[in-house]
């Protein structure tokens, strides 16, 4: 996603205690380590420069507590367990004595932008080094204390042991002396061999679970600050629209309402600016909501008020049926199509989607003359620093960002518009302000996943072999949220499962068609992989059936020989999720292995799949976020009614650092994918979203959730993405199963437009 | 107005139509009970009133004055309710936001139906959404809690339960 810069200078250094305490808000701490980390910023997303030499920390207290900073945001993916467990393992710390400390927003940590399924893969090696470095320094401290060679000292289970004499000292006892040791350089660091891992690759229990089941966990919505006001904001319903008239007399009469404030907005490109709005501030949430209902206001007209999602999707379908902008070209797809024995075409579409995190976004701010403190559920605290700083006219370092737990993120909480609202309102009122978004606010004012259309055409030769493949897609780019003029899918969106389509077809062509934005477009869990995989995996299945082949065998042949390939061609440079292709190649052997195992979960024979039984299996496999995931789904279709009977996931995510959290992310991805495929649809009429809450933007409920399984392929490859790659293959596995069961091919999502859900 | 929450009496100064959710969260600072939809559609705000699971977002405070309100903070004194233990054992939560509501719904339901079938669980839990998709583990944890504490639900009736 966008330009990336990376700095591979890695090294571990002692940082001053003051700096550590300042970053973490910790007390005590004798051994404090920092590590410089590779930096990564989507430059267009945050406007931050890519600062590269930054730090992450671990400390040991004299009471034996090992504090490990988690600088990434926890939103259900288990990162506050996953990264610290790596450090603890290398360090020989006992998990029960580890305290996880949430890092404040600070550039010195490196990127804290928790998206793109990259926390573990980006920080795994560094975390190991941090742990190993701490262990080495503790061993050296023990050697010094006992005046013995360091080779005779060994850290084990939170103590350092002197092997010859059998004496030992706890980490806490050694902490102070350890802090005075020289920091080992990278080259001399000895990492643990994989067979002696205690926590890495093991299902370490989630750090925050005990607090979550007792109501103690603090989310953005839960922040309480003395003397704070609560704000509820009525916002412009259409992009670009501004407040015209306001009558707030009735609102101000509501008991508990303290103030009514305007927020300027209507700026394009929308970036992370607040929308034009009117905030009602009160001493409690109920009063602010009542006050808001009593507002009388009107909004200015904008060209986006013509936007209608249903006709927009029709327009996109029309546009993808005509020649578009060529992105990549292998052989001569057009000529091969003309020479084909059999030609097949299909057009797919998918609607706008909203994130609908269970916790609607919320932020609390206390703005002062010379700085501002924030408490919020954000995926990227540094982006908050930058945007709040700009809005208040303060340097970013003057914005202190405390990251709470996130009640779901999925990409929504990496956009800090709601935090800027809180900061501006605090400045206007001179009091701490918590902005509470309601579910309606959340559904009405999201950064939506783009509506899309895609056209596919394949040519088969006499033997039923695919000789040509043309694919063309159109959807408003995320780029439109950040820069004017974006009116085609951008290359970084084609990187996500479209231009890197893995089929070994001699003549193939990838194109885009025009699509302009009319609302704020943003990234949602797995981003354009959603529509890209839906198109590619559906069409491959269609061609398989047309060729009279078993989908597994057909796909294996289509993917072709085992190879590692670079999808780049000409102007088009494949970004590979910001990683090198040496470390994370596009590897068809891994994809095929996932495919075989996925197919083994299903029964793809024509006997099992039949219109008479009304039952059928579908499969789909897809590489995204450097991981390979296959989904096998069994459905029953009877009298226009659809029931999802089973769903199985097979994944190769490289090394699974915490297999239990990998499994839970895949379960979550299946549920997320089921919601979007079966019932996910944001509708826009006259430029405004017409859905409002879970009755008309439904999510999958427990009784609709099929029996599931997750198979994680054991792998020694470096850890790859986990949070997102489970989502893309879900939708096509379902529609492929529906076809197998009923002969009905669903090409326009969501599925409940065509079939009733059981 | 007086509210009894987790066994403690509180005097609150609130509009009698204020939903219990906001009285709990804003006035008593019991933030374990969550705001998910404000419309009875998600179950994140579930608490008990005299042992019955209710949606706090739709319940005006006047409707529960005089009743015993239990929130997630008061479900057990040490976080050791059989469901809380089962939730930890199955590592149920992802983001955790819906989980207080899930547990409160399940707790009231298990009191009434200590050995539920899969269909019973589906029905009882159908009003609680989880965007993170923890449904398979919620089911497993409820079954586990029911199996390992077969008598739990019958404490009210004082009877024996086969399990
Ligand atoms: S917040 Fe009460 S049901 Fe959703
Ligand atoms: S755990 Fe996140 S919504 Fe249920």
Could you check whether the bond before residue B158 is cis, i.e. omega within 30 degrees of 0?
A: no
| Alpha carbon of A706: minimum distance to chain B alpha carbons (Å) | 8
State how far the Cα of A502 lies from the Cα of A378, in Å rounded to an integer. 35
Mean pLDDT along residues A702-731: 96
| List of chain B residues whose C-beta atoms are within 8 Å of the C-beta of residue A665 | 94
ipTM metric: 0.94
Tokens of residue A626, six digits: 């450097």
What DSSP state is assigned to residue A449? B
Tokens of residue A286, six digits: 């109920």
State how far the Cα of A412 lies from the Cα of A415, in Å rounded to an integer. 6
| The pLDDT value given to residue B151 | 56
Q: pLDDT of A122-173, one tens digit each?
A: 788 888 988 898 899 899 999 999 999 999 999 999 999 999 999 999 999 9
Does B118 reach chain A within 8 Å, measured CB to CB?
no
Q: pLDDT of A223-278, one tens digit each?
A: 999 999 999 999 999 999 999 999 999 999 999 999 999 999 988 899 999 999 99
Residue A438 CA: which ligand is closest?
1
Domain residue limits, chain A: 17-202, 220-302+361-436, 321-354+447-757
Does B132 reach chain A within 8 Å, measured CB to CB?
yes
Beta bridge partners of A468: A459, A507
Fold that domain A220-302+361-436 belongs to in CATH: Aldehyde Oxidoreductase; domain 4 (3.30.365)
* Residue position matching structure tokens 């709601």: A418
User: Do the domain assignments include residue B140?
Assistant: yes
Same domain, B91 and B67: no
Same domain, B28 and B94: no
Report residue B40: phi and psi, to 5°.
70, 20
Specify the CATH number for the domain of residue B114: 1.10.150.120
Fold that domain A321-354+447-757 belongs to in CATH: Aldehyde Oxidoreductase; domain 4 (3.30.365)
Greatest Cα pair distance in chain B:
47
Q: Let me know the angle formed at the C-alpha of A721 by A486 and A46, rounded to the nearest 5 degrees.
A: 40
| The pLDDT value given to residue A33 | 52
Same domain, B19 and B57: yes
| The pLDDT value given to residue A14 | 52
| The pLDDT value given to residue A67 | 86
| The pLDDT value given to residue A38 | 30
Report residue A489: phi and psi, to 5°.
-55, 140
Calculate how far, in angstroms, residue A414's C-alpha sits from the geometric centre of ligand 2: 18
Same fold across A17-202 and A321-354+447-757 = yes
User: A36 vs A308, which has greater pLDDT?
Assistant: A308
* Residue position matching structure tokens 């004299």: A62
Residue A753, class by beta-carbon neighbours within 10 Å (0-12 exposed, 13-18 middle, 19+ buried)? Answer: exposed
Query: Would you say A687 and A303 are in contact if contact means Cβ atoms under 8 Å apart?
Result: no
| List of chain A residues whose C-beta atoms are within 8 Å of the C-beta of residue B38 | 438-439, 693
Same domain, B67 and B99: no
Rounded to two decimals, the pTM is 0.92
Nearest Cα residue in chain B from A674: B133
State how far the Cα of A247 lies from the Cα of A178, in Å rounded to an integer. 65
Query: Would you say A621 and A537 are in contact if contact means Cβ atoms under 8 Å apart?
Result: yes
User: A11 vs B65, which has greater pLDDT?
Assistant: B65
* Residue position matching structure tokens 């430059």: A43
Same domain, B32 and B60: yes
Specify the CATH number for the domain of residue B65: 3.10.20.30
User: For residue B135, what are the domain limits?
Assistant: 82-157
Does pLDDT of A552 surpass 50? Answer: yes
User: Do the domain assignments include residue B21?
Assistant: yes
Of the residues B74, B108, B133, which one is the last residue of a structural domain? B74
Domain count, chain B: 2
Angle in degrees, 0-180, between the axes of helices A171-178 and A119-146, rounded to the nearest 10? 90
State how far the Cα of A419 lies from the Cα of A317, in Å rounded to an integer. 37
CA distances to A54, A58, A254, A742, B105 from A12, rounded to whole Å, are: 10, 11, 57, 60, 49
| The pLDDT value given to residue A629 | 98
User: Do the domain assignments include residue B104?
Assistant: yes
Q: How much of chain A exceeds pLDDT 90, in percent?
A: 79
| Alpha carbon of B163: minimum distance to chain A alpha carbons (Å) | 24
pLDDT, chain A, mean? 90
Query: Would you say A128 and A106 are in contact if contact means Cβ atoms under 8 Å apart?
Result: no
Best CATH choice for the domain A17-202 from the list 3.30.365.10, 3.20.20.30, 3.40.190.10, 3.40.50.300: 3.30.365.10
Beta bridge partners of A744: none
CA distances to A127, A310, A441, B120 from B150, rounded to whole Å, are: 45, 53, 43, 16
Q: pLDDT of B87-128, one tens digit each?
A: 999 999 999 999 999 999 999 999 999 999 999 999 999 999
User: Do the domain assignments include residue B162?
Assistant: no
Same domain, B90 and B66: no
Minimum-distance CB partner of B132 among A256, A668, A693: A668
Of the residues B74, B107, B128, which one is the last residue of a structural domain? B74
User: Do the domain assignments include residue B147?
Assistant: yes
Say which residues have a Cβ less than 8 Å from residue B58's Cβ, sequence separation at least 6: B19, B39, B40
Q: Let me know the angle formed at the C-alpha of A499 by A497 and A501, rounded to the nearest 5 degrees.
A: 60
Strand A159-162 versus strand A371-376 pairing type: unpaired
Does B60 reach chain A within 8 Å, measured CB to CB?
no
């Amino acid at each position: 996603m966008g330009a990336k810069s990376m700095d591979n200078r890695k090294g571990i250094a002692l940082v001053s205690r003051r700096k550590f305490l300042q970053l973490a808000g910790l007390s005590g701490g004798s051994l404090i380590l920092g590590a410089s980390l590779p930096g990564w910023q989507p430059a267009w997303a945050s406007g931050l420069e890519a600062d590269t030499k930054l730090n992450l920390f671990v400390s040991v207290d004299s009471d034996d507590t090992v504090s490990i900073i988690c600088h990434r945001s926890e939103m259900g993916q288990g990162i506050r367990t996953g990264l610290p467990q790596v450090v603890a393992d290398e360090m020989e710390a006992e998990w029960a004595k580890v305290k996880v400390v949430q890092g404040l927003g600070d550039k010195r940590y490196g990127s804290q932008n928790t998206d793109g399924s990259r926390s573990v893969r980006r920080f795994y090696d560094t975390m190991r080094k941090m742990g190993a470095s701490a262990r080495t320094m503790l061993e050296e401290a023990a050697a010094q204390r006992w005046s013995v060679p360091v080779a005779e000292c060994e850290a084990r289970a939170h103590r350092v042991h002197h092997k010859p004499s059998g004496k030992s000292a706890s980490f806490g006892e050694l902490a102070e002396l350890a802090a005075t040791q020289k920091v080992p350089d990278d080259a001399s660091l000895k990492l643990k061999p994989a067979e002696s891992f205690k926590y890495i690759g093991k299902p370490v229990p989630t750090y925050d679970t005990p607090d979550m089941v007792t109501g103690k966990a603090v989310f953005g919505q839960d922040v309480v600050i003395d003397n704070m006001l609560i704000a509820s904001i009525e916002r412009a319903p259409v992009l670009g629209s501004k407040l015209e008239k306001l009558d707030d007399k009735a609102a101000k009469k509501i008991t508990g309402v303290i103030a009514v404030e305007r927020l300027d907005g209507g700026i394009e490109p929308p970036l992370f600016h607040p929308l034009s709005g009117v905030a009602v501030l009160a001493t409690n949430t109920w009063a602010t909501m009542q006050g808001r209902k009593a507002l009388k206001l009107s909004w200015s007209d904008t060209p986006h008020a013509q936007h209608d999602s249903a006709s927009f999707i029709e327009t996109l379908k029309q546009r993808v049926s005509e020649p578009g902008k060529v992105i990549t070209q292998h052989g001569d797809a057009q000529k091969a199509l003309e020479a084909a024995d059999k030609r097949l075409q299909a057009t797919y579409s998918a609607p706008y989607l909203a994130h609908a995190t269970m916790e609607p976004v919320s932020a609390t701010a206390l703005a002062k003359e010379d700085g501002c403190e924030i408490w919020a559920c954000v995926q990227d605290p540094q982006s908050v620093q930058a945007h709040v700083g700009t809005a208040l006219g303060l340097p970013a370092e003057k914005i202190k960002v405390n990251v709470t737990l996130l009640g779901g993120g999925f990409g929504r909480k990496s956009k800090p518009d709601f935090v800027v609202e809180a900061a501006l309102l605090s400045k206007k009122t001179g009091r701490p302000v918590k902005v509470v978004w309601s579910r309606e606010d959340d559904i009405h004012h999201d950064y939506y996943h783009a509506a899309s259309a895609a056209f596919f055409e394949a040519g088969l030769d006499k033997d039923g072999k695919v000789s040509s493949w043309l694919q063309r897609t159109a959807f408003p780019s995320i780029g439109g949220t950040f820069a004017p003029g974006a009116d085609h899918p951008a290359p970084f969106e084609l990187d996500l499962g479209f231009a890197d389509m893995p089929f070994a077809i001699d003549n193939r062509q990838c194109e885009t068609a025009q699509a302009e934005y009319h609302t704020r477009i943003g990234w949602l869990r797995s981003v354009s992989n959603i529509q890209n995989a839906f198109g590619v995996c559906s069409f491959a299945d269609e061609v398989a059936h047309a060729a009279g082949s078993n989908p597994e065998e057909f796909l294996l042949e289509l993917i072709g020989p085992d190879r590692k390939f670079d999808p780049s061609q000409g102007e088009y440079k494949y970004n590979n999720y910001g990683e090198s292709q040496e470390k994370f190649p596009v590897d068809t052997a891994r994809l095929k292995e996932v495919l075989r195992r996925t197919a083994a979960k299903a029964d793809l024979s024509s006997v099992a799949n039949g219109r008479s039984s009304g039952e059928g299996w579908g499969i789909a496999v897809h590489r995204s976020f450097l991981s390979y995931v296959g989904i096998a789904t069994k459905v029953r279709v009877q009298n226009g009614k659809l029931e999802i009977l089973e769903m199985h996931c097979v994944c190769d995510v490289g090394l699974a650092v915490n297999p239990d959290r990998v499994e839970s992310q895949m379960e979550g991805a299946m549920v997320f994918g089921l919601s979007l495929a079966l019932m996910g649809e944001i509708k826009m009429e006259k430029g405004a979203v017409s859905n409002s809450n879970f009755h008309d933007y439904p999510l999958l409920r427990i009784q609709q959730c099929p029996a599931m399984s997750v198979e994680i392929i054991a792998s020694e490859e470096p850890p790859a993405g986990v949070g997102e790659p489970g989502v893309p293959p879900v939708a096509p596995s379902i529609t492929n199963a529906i076809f197998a069961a009923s002969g009905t091919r669903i090409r326009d999502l969501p599925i409940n437009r065509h079939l009733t859900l059981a | 107005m007086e509210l009894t929450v987790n066994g403690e009496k509180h005097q609150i100064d609130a509009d009698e139509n204020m939903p219990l959710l906001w009285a709990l969260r804003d006035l008593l600072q019991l933030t374990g009970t969550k705001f998910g939809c404000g419309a009875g559609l998600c179950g994140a705000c579930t608490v008990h009133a005299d042992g019955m699971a209710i949606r706090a977002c739709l319940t005006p405070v006047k409707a529960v004055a005089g009743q015993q309100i239990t929130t997630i903070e008061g479900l057990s004194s040490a976080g050791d309710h059989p469901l809380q233990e089962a939730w930890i054992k199955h590592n149920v939560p992802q983001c955790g936001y819906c989980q207080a509501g899930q547990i409160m719904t399940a707790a009231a339901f298990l009191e009434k139906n200590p050995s539920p079938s899969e269909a019973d669980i589906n029905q009882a839990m159908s009003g609680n959404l989880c965007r993170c998709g923890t449904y398979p583990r919620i089911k497993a944890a409820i079954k586990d809690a029911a199996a390992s504490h077969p008598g739990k639900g019958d404490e009210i009736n004082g009877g024996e339960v086969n399990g």
